[in-house]
Structure 1
């Protein structure tokens, strides 16, 4: 059989099948690559944005005797090389070159301060590249002095300006440290970090800033600062009489991170820690301190993998639905091609052609369309950045196998006997009891699965929960079966009603729709998963977008917020009020206040609540009204009148309980009080409504930090995982909508010949063109409308069914996504669009049929 000649004769259908296959293979091969690339980028950004002290691997050991002391740089370098050699293979791509080493003392009290002031000693291996000396000089080698009859070391140190200001220190001062093993600390210089924003300093923030700690049950803070000593001081620094630790920081580089390798990194970190624990310090193993690993990398990876699991679940659902619908539409195209070849293949079979020749001809013609299209789609997917996952080449292969397999099986079944007679007037066959039982079982299992999913949630085992992936498939299949079996019954009722009328067109159109064969109805049910998944994707995307808006308001609490560690002068507040774009300014003061007369404390904000509510008018979050009392957190509820110590002792009645204060507090003990409570307000926060530029406001109050809700929203939406989920949902929604429309068109084309013959017969009986259009619409539209409504309901119901199993809070500012009913415009538009296309297709089909001569149509019909 001449395949090129057949392809030329059915060029239009072959071209449609080629395009459908090309788009399907591009999507199923390109989307997983793009998704995985974004997953890798999300992991890299997560590691890059995390503080270095959390992401890096820090090997640390404590020295308790002179045998364990490290007194020169070479000893540190030797151990650094050893740690890098012990890294498990899974960690080596992550650990970058560089890093640094340090030696630090902790809890080194200043003599005579009663444990309220601590001046620690610290050495950094790369201090010369990290700091500038802004006053005095760099410290030199240690000296000695006599103190209480003993010779003690004198360490020359440098400190930051903040320590001089907050701890009453000065350059040139010599301070005694220790309570039993004394040492002298002489401040000879003041240093500043060359780049204080460098992630490096998260490991050594104790050197740049004074640390204030409030001991349990105490009212006064402890102050800690770590001073900088030179390398020469290592020879005099010993753990014999003080808390001394040595640290090696192995930096984790985000560039080598891969989401596929992330699950193995946790085990590798545990293995590295186990190997380090069996290493020993000192000259002998007896009594020596063990090395141990400090890192927050497992928690970072755990949080990332939790968010990734949700993203993968959503992606599997929508991509699986996309693949199923694409295969269904391709099968429709293949079926259309096979129907167009039926006459030719039947003639070849009647002339002695074997069944294998007939089936091979169908397979060859379909392969001629789908194989080049699959190769082209796979080649185009290579333009999408990302790793090649197993599904990338497997997707196009599945598409080709399904298309060619159906193209082989359909002619083999249809032409298994030469010139086999087929009745065209049989409307439908009664389903067997076995088939009905199987369909009822599928429906029952789907409903039971949905109930169990809501009742039990996700399984605790790692990885994807198969239950979560199977329930949507079962629900879709159940909805399709119910629709297929039940839709004729309301149509038959309409047929009885229209039979009583005088108009023939409604009766004929609805009768043909009600008596349609299951084979002609089944292709339309491709619309069900297409609509269900696309509506599900649209609803999920809308739910994420709405929750992101709420999260941005919860983070900032106002369109613009300015906070300062010190009081904002009244003149600066007035300058802010007069700034262009500022509509309203609400001053506030925040502090940590005393509850009662004990040690209980709570966070508090004093503000004009009425003005704040006015400022947030129209926002999805807000505060309850309060004018003369306090709004308290759940942990402070039930106390009636609450007494606080803030500038003065004040008693306030509780006027309500609030779960959180937008922009300020979400957990713990907190309260909101009127600004009039304070005897002399010291404003340190400004809540601003308007569109003023944050940079302009920051220049007006240099001590303030400016946050804007728009920036907070951008930070949430620009996250790679969030962007991937939303963009993939959008692409899948558009693709499924397109496939649904193509399915409608192919369904119309598949029944075109039979429909044209029926209309032609009726036109000989006086049917007008207008009545023919109405007849065609009434024949096609009911099943489209029923399927669209069922698909719409399925898509709207899936988020509620899967809600307990799909945690989307990672993509919505850590707020749970639960409101999926806010915007029904997109889902309704998808369903209505299908009905509209069906109507337009029916009209187009009728218009094309008018061009045919009635005699030719009837003659062809008679011959068949």
Structure 2
């Protein structure tokens, strides 16, 4: 029991202790390193996700209604600028810690700008004066000077314009204008009050993406009119004193304070506290200030995806840790079996159970705690936040006590008669029934107890392990029966290799190694199936958003735009689209109101749409009712959402036969529609839209009073140039919006060109995707490697008996080639059963766990449907072949090391 004796025994059995030490290091590394890497990837994903959000989802905006200031209230702007600190100090601590940049602005109410140098072709111009912090530091003068005194000696307010705005208006430094507040009740535009304005400088922004320029309207360009007869809106920079001077005359001035969430200040561990703090901002804001923010929307979306990713990672880690625990137990048992005679001798000399335990504990205490410490240190080298060492200590303690417990187990019975110490069949059957019952009960509770999606609990991580163990036990019970039948057939055939191989393979294999192999392969297959399901879901989401290769959206396009798009190089097919965002159906052609609420209307050229989807390789099906089409004189067949179908049925409109259709006003055309089918969704209709109608493009007569103008196009053409598509779309919209010789296209929003590849990359390139990739790679690679190691244990568990048989057969004339064939026949069923059982369990686990994993958080809301793809079948087949080759190699190496002749001469305990 002394330390030198224990050290000598460790040195004598160094290979066995080295294997246990390696497994302990890997276990400690997994426990320590995975949380650190996951923390680093989570933080990186959170920062990238927030940084890619639009300003509306990153800013906390506070605004105050335009008050009027008496001339005695000076300086008004400086007084309101102090609110920047006051508002921030009232925020919750978690929100204050996340704020980076912050700005305040003071904006005057828009006034009509008049002057002799203004471009008359622009029509009406309204001008706002703005001052605030950070504006001058973010721009460079290109002409003139910055407003300094605020008001010139002549009483004119000094302003500076962006170079793009000054060029559009045709003005230069030194020009003078009048700024007037118009009487809203006077149609002639009589001014209520006026103020002279002088342009003293022109500037250019240093970086247009700087957050200081975000605002409505923007200072960097003219804001187009909101409708016919409406003015353009420009924003000019003025000094604080200039805005004070304008406000002192009773001109309304509004104030705003904006705080931007800094991605580098975000911590995933404080994400819940930040969301809670954002929820409480409304309660702590000043009474006269209105809050506008959408930060919580983006953060909740990320939190949902993070919870689902952590759930997946927990399930994968549980499978790997369970596999490592099984391998450690097998290694301890194998080491104890090799020393069975030693333990029997101790007991024969009067040694007690405590003596055996102390002996084994002294040996393992010299190696395994140090191995756990090495694993903990190696895990600490990985980047990420430090993790608690208590789980490593617990794992090290459990592994340390495994060898003495295994020694105690194999020390029972009679020396040299291992058959007398075997387990009772009744005990084994009872254990298997209990494991199977607990696994089924856990699966039932997991599906029925209402587990919140994304949560992690012991039941969630233990059920997959229990199901894999239960499946392995069932496979052990089932697979010997067909082999025994095959053995009877081969007994009548010529040759002994097939008969002997199937006869030995038909005997039950060792339980422990096969369970470990099934568990490892199930973990790897689970990762592959879920990863494939997520990728397929993302492809489906991208195809729903862009059911082709490129999607063009705008206001209205000239009818010949489709032909020009089709003529572009690389375009294979084009289909026009027409979207009406909000339309309320009527009960008849005359426009009598109906009880149906507003809905979205989508018109598609069904045949062209189907051709685009086919050429683009997109699985977007077009129902037969749309392909039937219509001419607008009879009720058009419509695909309606369930909510709309219910309202139509209640109102008695749009029945399938079209006896009493509903009517829709589409660009001035009254179109009758009938409900031909009810669908939950359709391509180009966002999943958040629950009220929609999809119609085929009607064939209106050539002399129709209001010919339909498309509002978008979907293209098939993977190699088309997006810049060329954008050019043709802009020209097509400009041609439609040109009225005679008057150009009005600059009043419309520019067309947008979106590719399916961009949407797909956005779904899979930000947020928690890095954490997902890490989890799936860890599970797939770790499961495969540990499965091969478990298979090596399964082979070594029966190596001694196979060695004795092969030794006798070699002395009876068995050739080396027949020997290899016998190994192949005996090991193939074991390998195939273990690998295929694990693959089947791994493929079925996602079907059980999908409702509680929250996988739609990774696919833009699209339901993930796990499937065993052909690629995964090929991967499992390749793994089975690799495992078989590995098993035969291990057996051959072991036989060569054991020297089969000596095995026959010395007997079982050699």
The answer, yes or no, to whether TM exceeds 0.5 is yes
8 Å Cα contact 2:66/2:253 also seen in 1: yes
Give 1:237 deviation, angstroms: 6.7
Q: Does 1:476 align with 2:489?
A: no
Q: Does 1:542 align with 2:537?
A: no
Q: Does 1:825 align with 2:871?
A: yes
- SS class of match (1:707): strand
Pick closer, same or farther for the CA change 1:78–1:358 going to 2, 3 Å.
Answer: same
Query: Hey, what does 1:651 align to over in structure 2?
Result: 671
8 Å Cα contact 2:32/2:379 also seen in 1: yes
Give 1:525 deviation, angstroms: 0.7
8 Å Cα contact 2:68/2:253 also seen in 1: no
Instruction: Report Cα offsets for 1:37-93 as digits up to 9, x if no partner.
Output: 111122212322223343333445557675997843432343333344444443343
Q: 1: CA distance between counterparts of 2:601 and 2:850?
A: 35
- Could you tell which deviates more after superposition, 846-855 or 12-21? 846-855
Give 1:804 deviation, angstroms: 1.4
Q: 1: CA distance between counterparts of 2:317 and 2:478?
A: 29
Alignment of 1:372-521 (within 5 A): 373-390=371-388, 393-394=389-390, 396-415=392-411, 420=415, 422-424=417-419, 429-432=424-427, 440-455=433-448, 457-459=450-452, 463-484=455-476, 509=501, 512-513=504-505, 515-516=507-508, 520-521=510-511
8 Å Cα contact 2:557/2:711 also seen in 1: yes
Q: 2: CA distance between counterparts of 1:680 and 1:193?
A: 42
Pick closer, same or farther for the CA change 1:568–1:354 going to 2, 3 Å.
Answer: farther
8 Å Cα contact 2:521/2:787 also seen in 1: yes
Give 1:695 deviation, angstroms: 4.3
Select which of 610, 614, 618 maps to 2:611: 614
Query: Hey, what does 2:172 align to over in structure 1?
Result: none
Query: Hey, what does 1:325 align to over in structure 2?
Result: 323
- Could you tell which deviates more after superposition, 638-647 or 128-137? 128-137
Pick closer, same or farther for the CA change 1:664–1:428 going to 2, 3 Å.
Answer: closer
Q: 1: CA distance between counterparts of 2:249 and 2:276?
A: 36
Q: 2: CA distance between counterparts of 1:135 and 1:644?
A: 55
Pick closer, same or farther for the CA change 1:321–1:679 going to 2, 3 Å.
Answer: same
Query: Hey, what does 1:283 align to over in structure 2?
Result: none
8 Å Cα contact 2:629/2:698 also seen in 1: no
Q: 1: CA distance between counterparts of 2:45 and 2:893?
A: 53
Give 1:834 deviation, angstroms: 3.8
Q: Does 1:52 align with 2:55?
A: yes
- SS class of match (2:787): helix
Q: Does 1:816 align with 2:821?
A: no
Q: 1: CA distance between counterparts of 2:208 and 2:36?
A: 38
Query: Hey, what does 2:181 align to over in structure 1?
Result: 176
Query: Hey, what does 1:148 align to over in structure 2?
Result: none
Q: 2: CA distance between counterparts of 1:179 and 1:155?
A: 24
- Could you tell which deviates more after superposition, 309-318 or 529-538? 529-538
Pick closer, same or farther for the CA change 1:683–1:235 going to 2, 3 Å.
Answer: closer
Q: 1: CA distance between counterparts of 2:697 and 2:127?
A: 41
- Could you tell which deviates more after superposition, 734-743 or 205-214? 205-214
- Could you tell which deviates more after superposition, 703-712 or 98-107? 98-107
Pick closer, same or farther for the CA change 1:688–1:494 going to 2, 3 Å.
Answer: closer
- Could you tell which deviates more after superposition, 795-804 or 641-650? 641-650
Pick closer, same or farther for the CA change 1:403–1:380 going to 2, 3 Å.
Answer: same
Give 1:526 deviation, angstroms: 0.7
Q: Does 1:679 align with 2:707?
A: yes
8 Å Cα contact 1:484/1:522 also seen in 2: no
Give 1:736 deviation, angstroms: 0.4
Pick closer, same or farther for the CA change 1:80–1:346 going to 2, 3 Å.
Answer: same
Alignment of 1:754-793 (within 5 A): 754-764=801-811, 769=816, 772-773=819-820, 775-777=822-824, 779-793=826-840
- SS class of match (1:804): helix
Q: 2: CA distance between counterparts of 1:457 and 1:107?
A: 56
Query: Hey, what does 2:541 align to over in structure 1?
Result: 551
Q: Does 1:662 align with 2:707?
A: no
Give 1:781 deviation, angstroms: 4.3
- Could you tell which deviates more after superposition, 660-669 or 745-754? 660-669
Q: 1: CA distance between counterparts of 2:295 and 2:565?
A: 45
8 Å Cα contact 2:548/2:714 also seen in 1: no
Instruction: Report Cα offsets for 1:422-471 as digits up to 9, x if no partner.
Output: 44377752224xx76665455344334433433454238x9535543343
Select which of 116, 122, 132 maps to 1:124: 132
Q: 2: CA distance between counterparts of 1:409 and 1:80?
A: 68
Q: 2: CA distance between counterparts of 1:106 and 1:361?
A: 89
Unaligned runs of 5+ in 1: 111-115, 146-152, 215-219, 278-288
Matched residue count: 822
- SS class of match (1:730): helix
Query: Hey, what does 2:757 align to over in structure 1?
Result: 710
Give 1:100 deviation, angstroms: 0.8
Q: 2: CA distance between counterparts of 1:557 and 1:785?
A: 42
Query: Hey, what does 1:628 align to over in structure 2?
Result: 629
Q: Does 1:262 align with 2:271?
A: yes
8 Å Cα contact 1:552/1:712 also seen in 2: yes
8 Å Cα contact 1:454/1:803 also seen in 2: no
Unaligned runs of 5+ in 2: 114-123, 170-174, 186-190, 631-635, 649-653, 701-705, 731-749
Q: 2: CA distance between counterparts of 1:70 and 1:498?
A: 106
Instruction: Report Cα offsets for 1:107-131 as digits up to 9, x if no partner.
Output: 9999xxxxx9998775434443456
Q: 2: CA distance between counterparts of 1:66 and 1:467?
A: 65
Give 1:714 deviation, angstroms: 1.7
Give 1:316 deviation, angstroms: 0.3
Select which of 311, 314, 333 maps to 1:313: 311
Select which of 533, 537, 545 maps to 2:523: 533
Pick closer, same or farther for the CA change 1:275–1:606 going to 2, 3 Å.
Answer: closer
8 Å Cα contact 2:156/2:198 also seen in 1: no
Give 1:192 deviation, angstroms: 8.4
Q: 2: CA distance between counterparts of 1:862 and 1:569?
A: 90
Instruction: Report Cα offsets for 1:260-279 as digits up to 9, x if no partner.
Output: 111122333355554445xx
Query: Hey, what does 1:795 align to over in structure 2?
Result: 842
8 Å Cα contact 2:552/2:714 also seen in 1: yes
8 Å Cα contact 2:105/2:130 also seen in 1: yes
